[in-house]
Amino acid sequence: MAKVKSAITGEYIIQINEKSQVKVYRIFDNVIASLREAAAEVGFEIDPKWNTQETGRRLVANFGGGDQTATVGNYVITINANKSVNSYRTYSNTIGALREIAAKIGFGIDPKWNTQTTGSKLVDFINANK
């Protein structure tokens, strides 16, 4: 059985599960920017005057299932009990996300590596260089 491992670098989280499947998430420091990206991805018009809470509330109202969470394209948006808004991005193109992260931190990827190998080596690199 493969080892479960993960790493965090900047806004990115890389997780590798027991089946060696790699998942990448980006948790944004700038939530309003991520909400604008989410809206643009699905063609939802937002008013530039809306603040983070209003933008998040409207996206959740339009794309959520009646609760405080919505999936908008590749983004997950949640409204907390205190009305604060969180968002994170999932990646359908995992190898592309890994390449994006590697480029930002100066990690070289061998083009022969598959997603699992790239993810595992990148997690090891990040954790070794904390």
Kindly state the greatest CA–CA separation across the chain: 51
* pLDDT tens track for 79-97: 999 999 999 999 989 999 9
pLDDT at position 67: 82
Question: How far, in whole angstroms, is CA 94 from its chain's centroid?
Answer: 11
Instruction: Report the C-alpha gap between 8 and 27 in whole angstroms.
Output: 10
The answer to whether residue 1 scores a pLDDT higher than 60 is: no
| Residue 126 pLDDT grade (very low, low, confident, very high; cuts 50, 70, 90) | very high
User: Exposed, middle or buried, 111 (CB in 10 Å: 0-12/13-18/19+)?
Assistant: exposed
Looking at the chain, the whole-number percentage of residues with pLDDT higher than 90 is 92
Q: Tell me, what DSSP letter sits at residue 64?
A: B
Strands (E), the chain: 5-9, 12-16, 22-27, 69-72, 75-79, 85-90
Helix axes 115-128, 94-105, angle to 10 degrees: 30
* pLDDT tens track for 46-69: 999 999 999 999 999 999 977 899
pLDDT at position 11: 93
Q: What's the whole-number average pLDDT of the chain? A: 94
Would you mind telling me the total number of residues written for the chain in this entry?
130
pLDDT at position 66: 74
Instruction: Report the C-alpha gap between 29 and 115 in whole angstroms.
Output: 26
| Tokens of residue 35, six digits | 């909400």
Instruction: Report the C-alpha gap between 35 and 75 in whole angstroms.
Output: 8
pLDDT at position 65: 78
The answer to whether residue 110 scores a pLDDT higher than 90 is: yes
pLDDT at position 2: 61
